[in-house]
Each structure stands twice: as C-alpha cells, then as structure tokens.
Amino acid sequence: MTNGGDTMAAELLSASGTALATCASNRFLDNHPEIKTQFGQSASLDWKLHFVERIGELSAAILEQEPALFVSRVRWSRDAFRAREVPERLLRKSLESLLEILDEELPVSCREVPKAYIVAALNSFDSLELQASDLDANDPASKLAMQYLLHVLEGNSGKAIKLVVESHANGLSTADTYRTLMIAQDEIGRMWHQAEINIAEEHVVTSTTKRAMAVLAYQSEKQPPNGLTVLAAAVKGNVHDIGVQVVTDFFEFAGWRAVCLGGDLPATEIAQAVKYFDGSLVLLSAALSTQLKAVRETIEAVRGLNTPCKIMVGGTAMHDVPDIWRQLGADASAVSPTEALSTGSRLVNG
C-alpha cells in the first residue's frame, strides 16, 4: 500500500483525471496538428478518452506502488496501436505530453512518482513484441479449440457446442473440456486486441462459450455435498464474468454449494451476499489494474462482517504482480480453476 504522498498523488490523478486528460489532449493535438487531419472530427474526443484511460491506469499503479501495472497497460496499448496500424510513436508522444501537463498542473509534492512511472513505461516501449498465439496444433485441447473457433466464426455456434459436448461425452475430461473453451477465449481475446476480428465476433464466441459451459455443467458428474459454500464475483467495473463462472462450476463439481454472483458488483453487494449465503470462501476477479481498488474495498467489506470466510483473488489484473494479493488483503490467489479449487479447499479446511 502507498505512503501518504503517493496516496495523495493517486487520489489527485483520479479526481482530476478528466480535466488533466483534456489539458493533455489539447497539448498533444496542438503540438502535432497533423493528427487532427489523420483522425478527423473524432480526434479531440478519441485522444481525450485515451488520456482518461492512461491517467486512470497511472493512478491505480501508484495506489499499489507497482510501476509494472502501468508499464503493462502501456505495452498493451502499444500492441493495440501496432495491430491497428496507428503509429506507435503517437502513443509515445502522447505520454510525453502527459508528462508535461503533470509537471505543470500537479503540486510539487505529487509530481515525481507519476512522472517516474511514465518514464518507466516509455523506457519499456521496445522490450516486448506482439503477443503470440498460445494455440499449439500438437495439443489436443488447442486443436479442439481451433475447430471450435472456426465453427463459431463461420456462424455455426450450434455445431461448435455439439463438437465440445460430444468430445466430453467421448472421454475428454471435464477439466480438459473447460480448458479447451478457455484456450478459445484467450485466443479470441488476442485476436480482438490485434484487430484480427471485431467486437461483434468476439461477443459471438463469448456467448457461445457460455452456452457450451451451461450444457457441460448440467451433464458433468458432481461429488456429494460437502457442506461448504463458495461465492464468486467479478468486482465493480469488471464486466468479464466468464472466468468466475468457470471457477464456480469447478467448485460445484467438487461438492461445494457454488454461487456465481456475476460481474460488475459493488463491494457492499458482494459482502451482503457472503453474509446471506453464509459463505465459507469468496473468490474475487479483476481484469484491469484500475479495478484493484474495488478488490481492496470488497475485501475490506467482507472482513467487516467478522466471519471466518476466506478470500481469494484472481484475474488478469494480477498477472504482472503475482504477489499483489498480499497487499490487497486477500488470503491467497489462483491463476486457474484447478488451483483455485485446491487452494480454496486448503484455506477453508485449515
């Protein structure tokens, strides 16, 4: 957690994000008037939104005292620029404009840390290439995922679901069947990021995957009830709830009463659900660094119940700083459904 000065800087960036973004966007477009021609009438709005996102990510990283969180998001943006054939020098120039604005607008006591984080991101620009596909033609799950995606993207969602369900019925383990679907989801996310598909196509795949999971959950064998209750939720701001549904299913198969609360839930609502269902374990998911504050607030709300409920966290927001769960106040973290099940069982059973 931050010291007082860093907390003030993070809060000031969060509170003044829109105003600072407007100043940075104006400075950027004034310094590079050719961009107005390139982007047309939407230039001002597009770049203002760009700066709003960067400032929010900067604030979140400072709040956790983790420069890697901001560096990661800038790299993500750089890759998106490359994939969409937007010169990545514009991203670099935009960060330089943001540096100028923060140096002018922030109080002296709040300037140095944000500037240091931006410099770290600028220095990392050339350190990573575009994310490669994780699909492996020699891996049966990857091969099945490729066939599944092909059917969905051809408009044959029913055929895709049948392929997966029949593979499960013919002996593919439940864990490997779910892994197949998650490989497909990871690949479709990569394809969207790199502008190989559009949002509508990504939504079709995600919708199909949820339908396939519902069939698998209904058909899969379940252990006898063990008297334990787990709740899973994506915290406020995180609308990506497919991961929490997967992990909920795994706990249900193992005999837990498993409650999937869905996505974008406020801290107080999650805490109330933990109390109502007498939860033994709660699983919280965050996709972006800007959602880590919501994770912390949710953990504090659950701790405030004074119950023995254990808390685990996960999601892509945790990937760049694997131990961040400790400073968020959780009891553990997990990167896969099987790890979540084994770690959660250990936590609850002592």
Is residue 38's pLDDT more than 80? yes
Which of the 8 DSSP states describes residue 311?
Answer: E
pLDDT for 252: 98
pLDDT for 41: 86
What DSSP element (H or E) covers 245? Answer: helix 242-253
Cα distances (angstroms) measured from residue 115 to each of 18, 23, 71, 73, 106? 18, 16, 12, 16, 10
- Which of 307, 298, 310 is closest to 344 using CA atoms? 310
Tell me which fold the domain 4-123 belongs to.
Answer: Globin-like (1.10.490)
| SS3 at position 170 | coil
Is residue 239's pLDDT more than 50? yes
Give the position of tokens 């369900």. Answer: 165
Per-domain boundaries in the chain? 4-123, 140-219, 229-349
Backbone angles phi, psi at 265, to 5 degrees: -105, 130
d(CA 318, CA 333): 9
Give the position of tokens 């907390």. Answer: 7
Backbone angles phi, psi at 215, to 5 degrees: -65, -45
- Which of 250, 262, 211 is closest to 339 using CA atoms? 250
Residue-wise pLDDT tens digits, 114-164: 999 999 999 987 765 656 667 787 888 999 999 999 999 999 999 999 999
pLDDT for 120: 94
pLDDT for 148: 97
Tell me which fold the domain 140-219 belongs to.
Answer: 1.10.1240
Is residue 1's pLDDT more than 50? no
The pair of three-digit structure tokens given for residue 248, joined into one six-digit string = 């909920």
Q: pTM of the full predicted structure? A: 0.91
pLDDT for 45: 94
pLDDT for 194: 87
The pair of three-digit structure tokens given for residue 283, joined into one six-digit string = 């699983």
- Which of 69, 113, 122 is closest to 94 using CA atoms? 122
Beta strands in 143-247 (DSSP E): 229-235
Is residue 15's pLDDT more than 80? yes
Kind of pairing between the strands at 310-314 and 332-333: parallel
pLDDT for 2: 53
Sign of the torsion angle spanned by Cα atoms 193, 195, 201, 205:
negative
Residue-wise pLDDT tens digits, 251-298: 999 999 999 999 999 999 999 999 999 999 999 999 999 999 999 999
Is residue 74's pLDDT more than 70? yes
The pair of three-digit structure tokens given for residue 341, joined into one six-digit string = 């099940």
Mean residue pLDDT across the chain: 93
The predicted model gives 57-64 an average pLDDT of 96
- Which of 219, 172, 182, 202 is closest to 340 using CA atoms? 182
Query: What's at 142, amino acid-wise?
Result: S
Is residue 224's pLDDT more than 60? yes
Sign of the torsion angle spanned by Cα atoms 339, 345, 348, 350:
negative
| SS3 at position 187 | helix
Sequence-distant (≥ 6) Cβ neighbours of residue 178 within 8 angstroms? 213, 216, 246, 249, 250, 337
Overall CATH class of domain 229-349: alpha beta
